[in-house]
Amino acid sequence: MMKIILNAGREKSLLRRHPWVFASAIKNVDAPSAASGSTVDLLSSEGHFLARASYSPTSQIRARVWTFNDEPVDKEFFRRKIREAIALRQMSKVESHTNAYRLIHAESDGLPGFVVDQYKDILVLQSTTAGSEFWKDTVADLLIEETGIQNIYERSDVDVRELEGLKPITGILRGTITNSQLQITEYDLKFNVDIQHGHKTGFYLDQRANRHRAGEFAKDRDVLNCFCYTGGFSIQALANGAKSVLSVDSSADALSLLEENIALNRVRVPADRHTSLEGDVFQLLRKFRDENRSFDMIILDPPKFAPTAAHAEKASRAYKDINLLAFKLLRHGGILVTFSCSGGIDAALFQKIVASAALDAGVDATITEHLSQGSDHPVSLHFPEGSYLKGLVCVKG
């Protein structure tokens, strides 16, 4: 088996079971022409076995660990990992609230590069690394065997594949899928999802519990939902008795799907209390401020402003800007539910940004809750990067 020998002292992260090895940590690769995604042994500078990993010759993350044990990485290895991931979701009872959830969450399930979301009777698979691409067909076949679901759609269209020397791939991976739009349920509410064109794999499954929680705050409140996408937060707010909901997004297609979702839930969701507005959130928040508009509750769920720490400074300004404007638009006693999904912004920094925004807005605010991703998006204790979604519930004094 191909071996990678690390520089002296660079094995510390592996001894702490962090699964990444960067190019700068490597002293020698004994077979530099090895196939992209092939399995390698990671050895200390003294030749001691540390882990077994996938090899990515073009990425700065040169190796991603499959196992810290001296065991075969083969079909049965992946079968065991898939079964463990399924068992974890069964233990968390995620299916009691929804028929759409994350089945495999990459490093946190011991399967770097693999994301698999289940939408009722369709699986959506995303492969982001050389290693996952190498084993993709094996994993797809195992998913069918272990879940009984015959249809798998691939959404390997994320930018990070370029860093791995991979081209984007989308389309049917297994089975027959005649329509990319399907209907899911979440806390007894219905949503149309487009697995071919929608964000991520079609829906923001990680916000499920937070949508439900935000809805519980919305009764009798005028709610502004920014970056609303297809309306998950808006529909929860309306279903829980919001006085009014204004949903803002820059995508006309997303807003169109939002209106479809409201119609799907017409028994519980009063359409006459809802308004959609297409436009740039930053510009519209300033416009609302200049018009002296105000709201009882504001939800900020923006896209990823800082994918890595290198983008943190610029992203911090953007997060501060929208939170400052939100605080100005909130009425006394109003609730701000604000999120960051940026990997380059950790929870402590995000809280500092929101605190700075409140200070500059000239308001007092209290954090009443910290929010995070759902239980189907677990976080390995050894891979804190898996905890990417940060949320705060703040009450304006």
Write out the H or E segment, with its range, that includes residue 369: strand 365-371
Question: Residue 31: what pLDDT?
Answer: 73
Domain 204-396 has CATH 3.40.50.150: yes
Question: Residue 294: what pLDDT?
Answer: 97
> Which residues carry out catalysis?
341
- Token digits for 289? 């401020």
Q: Give, to the nearest 10 degrees, the angle between helix 208-217 and helix 232-239.
A: 40
What is the CATH number that goes with domain 75-180?
Answer: 3.30.750.80
Question: Residue 343: what pLDDT?
Answer: 84
Amino acid (one-letter) located at 188: D
Question: Is residue 183 a contact partner of residue 192, using CB atoms and an 8 Å limit?
Answer: yes
What pTM did the predictor assign? 0.93
Question: Is residue 156 a contact partner of residue 170, using CB atoms and an 8 Å limit?
Answer: yes
Would you give the end-to-end CA distance of the chain in angstroms? 63
Q: Which stretches of the chain drop beneath a pLDDT of 70?
A: 32, 306-310
For 111-130, what is each residue's pLDDT tens digit? 999 999 999 999 999 999 99
Please name every residue paired with 184 in a beta bridge, in sequence order, or none if there are none. Answer: 191
Question: Which among 208, 220, 223 is positioned nearest to 326, based on CA atoms?
Answer: 223
Question: Residue 306: what pLDDT?
Answer: 60
From residue 83, give the alpha-carbon distance in Å to each of 117, 122, 145, 154, 189.
15, 18, 10, 20, 29
Question: Residue 308: what pLDDT?
Answer: 65
Please name every residue paired with 146 in a beta bridge, in sequence order, or none if there are none. Answer: none
Identify the residue whose tokens are 């020397």: 165
Tell me, which fold does domain 3-67 have in CATH? 2.30.130
Question: Pairing state of beta strands 244-249 and 274-278?
Answer: parallel
Burial environment of residue 176 by CB neighbours within 10 A (0 to 12, 13 to 18, 19 or more): exposed
Q: What is the C-alpha to C-alpha distance for residues 281 and 249, in angstroms, rounded to an integer?
A: 7
Domain parsing of the chain, residue ranges: 3-67, 75-180, 204-396
- Strand segments, DSSP code E, in 305-349 are 330-340
